[in-house]
Copies of this chain bind each other. A is one copy, B any other.
Amino acid sequence: MQSIEKESAIAQDYLSKISVQAEALFDKYLPPVTDQPCRLHEAMRYSMLAGGKRLRPALVRATFDMFGGKGENVEYAMVALEMIHTFSLIHDDLPCIDNDDFRRGKPTSHKQFGEATAVMAGDALCVLAFELMGKTGNARAIEVLAHLLSTYGLIGGEMIDIECEGKEVDLETVDYIHYHKTAALIEAALQVGAMLAGASDKDIQIIRQYGRAIGLAFQIVDDILDIVSTTEELGKDAGSDIEKGKATYPSVVGLDKSREKAKELYEESIRALDGLSCDTNVLRAIAAFIITRVK
């Protein structure tokens, strides 16, 4: 096995390659700004094309390829997963929710376009994501994606996150928030990629286990970076978790134990992949990247 740093470098190369591919697809499937309602289409493009790691499209692509998927359905799902991620960020940033002014180094949607347009840009991205998923012809994948985004997934995690702001919380609650708010959509990206490729139920279970582990690790690393990085490094307000009294791993168990937990989750994710007979190199590399990333 290679060193974790080498693995991470492999993942970064992969993510760079997929970013270029994914951004071309976003441009292809986002409505043009010349179509009515122009300003809303502009707002959708603004947030979708503001950069970012494109982790979710990469997870869709990697899993689809790993399970031998063929055809263009993967493209719809790559775009849909990033649209759903962007929709959740636009709404989370709203003044009535997290009230954030910056995201990926740029003013947030409501700062740039006003609140009404931001609410509707989020709605429109969510709806367009399901339209694209409809084009895959795989209704079961749509059901799975929607469930992991629902009040039993991402939206549920976000709601409890807000309700816990400024309150003393235990580790169980932080786990609930992180598994729902972050891990659910990462799990969804992997599962949708696997389903579109026609993976077996057994393999899908394994990929979900991997997803839950790297999803939680991803959010713990996010929590750590919010403390140890500057706003410039992050492209969003650093230190905002503490300021808002957010429930985070470091706030409950401290920085060192948070780092240990991330490492344990990394190992758990790798062990899960051992259950697969296909080539899992890309997913191993992505797991390494997730716990070593600095932004």
Residues of A within 8 A of B (CB): 31, 35-37, 39-41, 44, 87, 91, 94, 96-97, 114-117, 119-120, 122-124, 126-128, 130-131, 133-144, 146-147, 149-152, 155-156, 158-160, 162-163, 176
Contacts and interface: CB of A to CB of B under 8 A. Distances in A.
17 contacts: A31-B151, A35-B151, A36-B156, A37-B156, A37-B159, A40-B151, A91-B119, A97-B119, A117-B159, A120-B158, A120-B159, A123-B123, A123-B155, A124-B155, A131-B146, A133-B142, A139-B142
B123 A96 contact: no
Contacts of A134: 139-144, 146
Contacts of A143: 131, 134-135
Copies of this polypeptide in the complex: 2
B37 A151 contact: yes
A94 B120 contact: no
Given A120-B155, A142-B134, A156-B36, A150 B128 contact: yes
B138 A41 contact: no
Contacts of A128: 146, 150-151
